[in-house]
Amino acid sequence: MTRRSFVRRHPKLILVGGPIALVGVLLAVLLAELQYARSREYAVDSRFELERSFPGDGPTIELGVVGDSTVAGLGVDDVDDTLPVQVGLELAARTGRPVRVRGYGVSGATIGSVLDQQLVDVPTDLDVLVFEVGSNDVTHMTRLEQVEQRTRRLIDAGRRHAPIVVLGTAGRLDTTNFKRPLRDIVMARASQVRARQLAAAHAESIGVVEIGGAKVGDEFNATKDAVSFDGFHPARAGYGVWARALAQEIAHQLDRVKSPA
């Protein structure tokens, strides 16, 4: 029987087979991630909180960074190399103002778990709150409609902690740990998740940095030693690429508040 005749005789099997194949692929990604995480030792715990201050002139910018393992700093050898610290340092350099940054990261966090669990520990007197989350929603197969809905709810909840909310989206998940076509399928799914996050951010009129998009993603790929030893998480240089993009957007949002159009 040819493939064409099989499709004609069994169309439902083809329709069902696609989602089942995707489920299998993403489960394979999750299992591989777990295997790598268990076989490596990280300098930073999978759940952590930090606070750092950077000098400057004028009123202090109270900054919070909340999210998944990339906020928890998996992939680096020193806490000072983590994303929250690098964002705080970069923001102080850009604005000339003192910055106090507090980071709240949980490995494996999704948009939903940040919304339901992590915000309880975040102060409500921040000037800026950054969310960096979404990649685990790719591998956890969160429905795209839920990605957008939960992102909008997360933004709304974030506004109770800070007047300025900035979203960093899911990454590309372009890892050499997976061979094609698995790699291409995961990257395609990540692109879909980012698109829903961008739609939510634009609908809520907040600042957004497309971490896996063309601008940041291409700079990340062009940066030497951007990826850590585990092949999944950024290394110090990779987090630096993200930090510069996030700090630039935060500074832009602060300027907008200072000098509204």
What residue spans define the domains of the chain? 3-258
Higher pLDDT, 138 or 10: 138
Residue pLDDT, tens place only, 164-206: 999 999 999 988 777 788 889 999 999 999 999 999 999 999 9
Cβ-based burial of 170 (10 A; exposed 0-12, middle 13-18, buried ≥19): buried
Say if CB 74 and CB 42 are below 8 A apart.
yes
Residue pLDDT, tens place only, 16-51: 444 555 555 555 555 555 444 444 444 445 568 999
Higher pLDDT, 14 or 217: 217
- Which of 12-21, 79-88, 154-163 is predicted least confidently? 12-21
Select the CATH number that applies to the domain covering 3-258 from these four: 3.40.50.1110, 3.30.70.20, 3.50.50.60, 2.40.50.100.
Answer: 3.40.50.1110
Say if CB 204 and CB 156 are below 8 A apart.
yes
Please compute the mean of the pLDDT values over residues 93-108 and round it to a whole number: 97
**Residue 195 has what pLDDT?**
98
What's 227's DSSP letter? B
Q: Give the closest residue to 80 by CA, choosing from 43, 105, 47, 113.
A: 43
- Which of 15-24, 109-118, 241-250 is predicted least confidently? 15-24
Residue pLDDT, tens place only, 51-69: 999 999 999 999 999 999 9
Q: State the residue for tokens 């350099």.
A: 93
Helix residue ranges per DSSP H, 10-118: 11-39, 69-72, 83-95, 111-116
Q: Give the closest residue to 84 by CA, choosing from 242, 235, 207, 194.
A: 242
> For a pLDDT cut of 90, what percent of the chain falls above it?
73
**Residue 98 has what pLDDT?**
98
Q: Detail the DSSP E strand segments found in 47-159.
A: 47-54, 61-67, 99-106, 128-132
The pLDDT-based confidence of 82 (bands split at 50, 70, 90) is: very high
Cβ-based burial of 176 (10 A; exposed 0-12, middle 13-18, buried ≥19): exposed
